[in-house]
Amino acid sequence: MGAKIIDGKEIADQIRKDLTRRIAKLRSEGVTPGLTVILVGDDPASSSYVRMKGKACKELGIYSHTLLKPPDYSEGSLLGLIEKLNDDPMIHGILVQMPVPEHIDVSKIVRAIDPDKDVDAFHPVNVGKMLIGESDGFLPATPHGIQELLSRSGHKVAGKHVVIVGRSNIVGKPLAAILMQKNQAADATVTVCHSRTENLKDITLQADVLVSAIGKVNFIKADMVKEGAVVVDVGSNRIDDPTAPRGYRFVGDVDFAAVKEKASAITPVPGGVGPMTIIMLMQNTVQAAEKALERQGRPKV
Give the catalytic positions in this structure.
53, 97, 120
Q: How wide is the angle at C-alpha 298 spanned by C-alphas 295 and 301, nearest 5°?
A: 115
Q: Comparing C-alpha atoms, which of 107, 120, 104 is closest to residue 37?
A: 120
* Residue 237 binding ligand NDP, by CB under 6 A: yes
Among 127, 177, 214, 286, binds ligand NDP (CB under 6 A): 214
Between 8 and 34, CB nearer to ligand NDP: 8
Question: How many residues sit close enough to ligand NDP to count as binding (CB under 6 A)?
Answer: 25
* Residue 8 binding ligand NDP, by CB under 6 A: no
Among 65, 194, 249, 291, binds ligand NDP (CB under 6 A): 194
* Residue 234 binding ligand NDP, by CB under 6 A: yes
* Residue 277 binding ligand NDP, by CB under 6 A: yes
* Residue 273 binding ligand NDP, by CB under 6 A: yes
Piece in contact with ligand NDP (CB under 6 A), picked from 58-66, 122-130, 272-280, 287-295: 272-280
Piece in contact with ligand NDP (CB under 6 A), picked from 15-23, 97-105, 178-186, 207-215: 207-215
Q: DSSP character for 73?
A: -
In this structure, the number of other CB atoms found within 10 A of the CB of residue 84 comes to 10
In this structure, the number of other CB atoms found within 10 A of the CB of residue 178 comes to 23
Among 115, 166, 174, 268, binds ligand NDP (CB under 6 A): 166
> Is-contact 129 139, C-beta < 8 A?
no
* Residue 165 binding ligand NDP, by CB under 6 A: yes
**Least distance (Å) from ligand NDP to the CB of residue 213?**
4
Between 205 and 293, CB nearer to ligand NDP: 205
Torsion sign, CA atoms 187, 8, 278, 103: positive
Between 87 and 198, CB nearer to ligand NDP: 198
Among 96, 139, 164, 193, binds ligand NDP (CB under 6 A): 193
Q: Can you give the binding site for ligand NDP, defined by CB under 6 A? A: 142, 165-168, 170-172, 193-197, 200, 213-216, 234-237, 273-274, 277
